[in-house]
Chain A
Amino acid sequence: MSFLRSARRLLLVSVVVYVLLKGLFLSGLATEYLQQIILYALIVIIGSLGLNVIYGYTGQFSLGQAAFYGIGAYMSAYLTHVFSIGSALPFLPVLFASGLFSALIGYLIGFPILRLRDDFLAIATLGFGIFVRVFLDNSDRLIDALGGARGFVGIPRITSLDLVLPVTIVLILVTRNVIFSKYGLFWQCIKDDELASSAFGINTGRMKSMAFTYGCFLAGIAGGLYAHLYSFLHPSNFDFLKSIDFLIIVIVGGMGSITGTIFAGLVWVGFIEGLRIVLPSGMLEYRWVLIPILLIVLMFWRPNGLMAQKESRFLGIDRVS
């Protein structure tokens, strides 16, 4: 019960948001395209939250978040294909399973690479991203349904507001509680000083592995939702640039801030899609010229992000610990 009480503000806000969005969707004010963008923004928030746990809270710099996102997407699409699932309720265990599968891969791959520091970890996770991309490109040799370089087609469109919003809220709450549990404190200790943390008796290897696995779990869930939103998957959806997307959201929102990630995720998706509408088609290619400049300027001006370690009162964080 204390869980619910401490989260009552957030739950209240989410009910309001749900009612507003539902009204928007049902009244037809939001076009199909806008509805998809809103759902996609929520999915991106889940994935970015995963990277924020890995990088923002635990300080393990990863350039491979999109790989785990992709693993979750392909796994869930494959499972719905095998069990021919078409509605939201039987989809939930599939979603959970694909999150767990992503987490398992994250755990296994984290075992060797989490021993590395900052930039070497970055290269190792980047390399893993390329490895996954190559694997997905060749996946039809192993299992024909995965489609390989042709893409995975014919995924049922299950993801809806009724599914995504509750999943997002639950995952935000769970993440909040994990972060403010003793494990979350250990993670933040490791980020501040790994050597000192191990001197205090924190099992740094195990804690880093735990954070990484949890972050990959969130990425896998996000991927599963994504697969059943657009009903088409292609290996190129999960390349290096997608990892950069997640990284920018974490950095813009602020390292170690759940609120920041939520806002930045919304702003980011709005920004990318908004530019698609505002910019004339010939100017669209300028998006990816501006984004790196934004990244560099942020590093100069606010290297820890806009909302680093600040939280909104809506999360009820002062009541958790």
Chain B
Amino acid sequence: MEFLSYTLQQLINGLQLGAVYALIALGYTMVYGVLRLINFAHGDIFMFGTFVAYFCIARWHLPIYLVFMITIGATAALGVLVEKIAYKPLRAAPRISLLITAVGVSLFLEYFLSLNAMFTPNYIAFPRPFDVAGYDASLVVVTNIQLIIFSVTAASLFLLYLLVYRSKHGRAMRALSHDQETASLMGINVDATISFTFAVGTACAGVGGILYGFAYPQINVFMGIMPGIKSFIAAVLGGIGLVHGAVLGGLLIGVSEVFVSAYLSSTFRDGFIFVILLLVLLFRPSGIFGRRIEKV
């Protein structure tokens, strides 16, 4: 009974982490879908979102809905800005140039924001706008933070579903990910759609950033690196380019990370992620939901 309760508790903690990974992985998978680019800077945009939320809450004392709106707006703007300045001029260049540029953007964001004039490289305590409360549900304890994370993630996913599968913009995005040239011949504005995809993907990362701040309230400018890499691996696990794949992959990675920490050792959890990546790439390179047998 004790074991079962402990395992269930870890499962819930894992889903909490996995929900944040899922939100970040969505941005990776959508950008990869339209541009065939691993946006290395995505993890740093997620970090930027957490910091914007920090400023909204700790410095400006804004109500919670404004925190969400401003953070989403700021991360989406940063995402579009990065795309326009750094990625757009290289669209015809080899993919590897684009990838190296993305690595450069990522390093630039990290080290520019770590300047003492900006956010400083120190750890900062993220203030929660509410007190933590736990609800005892016989076997497990669920905190209000977890409930907030689950409901916000679910709502974001629902909105995203409407956007991608039920709107004109979403159809343009999906068309672009199938065949860019044909899509442009059908009258789809390629540049605008790519920018739009970046905006939506980084907005998801912004939501993830706020939730991450609630759940793990020690933030610093380098906090985006590991969640970024893990979320990308989550996107590959679910099948890169697929929205539902990113969600499932994120949840799986989050749960397995928490389980490794709980049952093996917390120092192994970052290494474990590489083992997962290797296994996926070896046995199912197109991911869980990926149907096309493409040599990645």
Q: In whole Å, how far is B253's beta carbon from the nearest beta carbon of chain A?
A: 12
Q: Which of A120, A126, A138, A285 contacts B111 (CB 8 A)?
A: A285
Chain B minimum-CB-distance residue to A127: B274
Q: In whole Å, how far is B182's beta carbon from the nearest beta carbon of chain A?
A: 23
Q: Which B79-130 residues have C-beta < 8 A from chain A?
A: 86, 89-90, 93-101, 103-108, 111-112, 114-116, 121
Chain A minimum-CB-distance residue to B86: A296
Whether the pair A117, B296 counts as a contact (CB closer than 8 A) is: yes
A37 within 8 A of B: no
- Chain A 290-303: CB-based contact to B (< 8 A → 1; otherwise 0): 01110110011001
Q: Which B243-272 residues have C-beta < 8 A from chain A?
A: 265, 267-268, 270-271
A135 to B275, CA, bound (A): 12
By Cβ-Cβ distance, the 9 closest A-B pairs, closest first, are A134-B271, A292-B108, A295-B104, A288-B111, A127-B274, A292-B107, A131-B274, A292-B104, A296-B104
Is chain A's binding surface mostly helix, strand, loop or mixed? helix
A113 to B282, CA, bound (A): 8
Whether the pair B267, A137 counts as a contact (CB closer than 8 A) is: yes
A116 within 8 A of B: yes
Please give the number of chain B residues whose Cβ is less than 8 angstroms from any Cβ of chain A in the complex: 46
Q: Chain A residues in contact with chain B, CB under 8 A? A: 61, 63, 112-113, 115-120, 122-124, 126-128, 130-131, 133-135, 137-138, 240, 244, 247, 251, 285-286, 288-289, 291-293, 295-296, 299-300, 303
* Pairs across A and B, CB under 8 Å, 13 listed: A115-B281, A116-B296, A119-B37, A127-B273, A127-B277, A133-B270, A244-B103, A247-B100, A285-B115, A292-B103, A292-B107, A295-B104, A299-B104
Question: Which of A116, A133, A292 has the largest count of B CB atoms less than 10 A from its CB?
Answer: A292
Q: In whole Å, how far is B280's beta carbon from the nearest beta carbon of chain A?
A: 10
- Which A residues are in CB contact (< 8 Å) with B275? 131
Q: Which of B37, B99, B107, B281 contacts A124 (CB 8 A)?
A: B281
A247 to B236, CA, bound (A): 24
B15 within 8 A of A: no
Whether the pair A115, B90 counts as a contact (CB closer than 8 A) is: no
Whether the pair B278, A295 counts as a contact (CB closer than 8 A) is: no
Whether the pair A119, B274 counts as a contact (CB closer than 8 A) is: no
- Which A residues are in CB contact (< 8 Å) with B99? 61, 118-119, 122
Q: In whole Å, how far is A300's beta carbon from the nearest beta carbon of chain B?
A: 6
A247 to B116, CA, bound (A): 27
Q: In whole Å, how far is B290's beta carbon from the nearest beta carbon of chain A?
A: 13
A84 to B159, CA, bound (A): 65
Chain B minimum-CB-distance residue to A135: B271
Q: In whole Å, how far is A182's beta carbon from the nearest beta carbon of chain B?
A: 26
- Which B residues are in CB contact (< 8 Å) with A127? 229, 233, 273-274, 277-278
User: Contacts A296-B101, A303-B94; is A289 near B112 (CB within 8 Å)?
Assistant: yes
- Which A residues are in CB contact (< 8 Å) with B121? 285
A117 to B105, CA, bound (A): 22
User: Contacts A244-B107, A292-B107; is A130 near B115 (CB within 8 Å)?
Assistant: no
Whether the pair B267, A138 counts as a contact (CB closer than 8 A) is: yes
B38 within 8 A of A: yes
Q: In whole Å, how far is B233's beta carbon from the nearest beta carbon of chain A?
A: 7
B68 within 8 A of A: no
Q: Which of B97, B103, B296 contacts A120 (CB 8 A)?
A: B296
- Which B residues are in CB contact (< 8 Å) with A303? 93-94, 97
Whether the pair A296, B108 counts as a contact (CB closer than 8 A) is: yes
Question: Which of B86, B96, B268, B282 has the largest count of A CB atoms less than 10 A from its CB?
Answer: B96
- Which B residues are in CB contact (< 8 Å) with A120? 236, 281, 296
Whether the pair B108, A293 counts as a contact (CB closer than 8 A) is: yes
Q: In whole Å, how far is A290's beta carbon from the nearest beta carbon of chain B?
A: 9
Whether the pair B95, A119 counts as a contact (CB closer than 8 A) is: yes
A306 to B116, CA, bound (A): 33
A295 to B40, CA, bound (A): 14
Question: Which of B90, B115, B277 has the largest count of A CB atoms less than 10 A from its CB?
Answer: B277
B212 within 8 A of A: no
B295 within 8 A of A: yes
- Which A residues are in CB contact (< 8 Å) with B274? 127-128, 130-131
Q: Which of B108, B114, B277 contacts A123 (CB 8 A)?
A: B277
- Which A residues are in CB contact (< 8 Å) with B270? 130, 133-134
Q: In whole Å, how far is B179's beta carbon from the nearest beta carbon of chain A?
A: 19
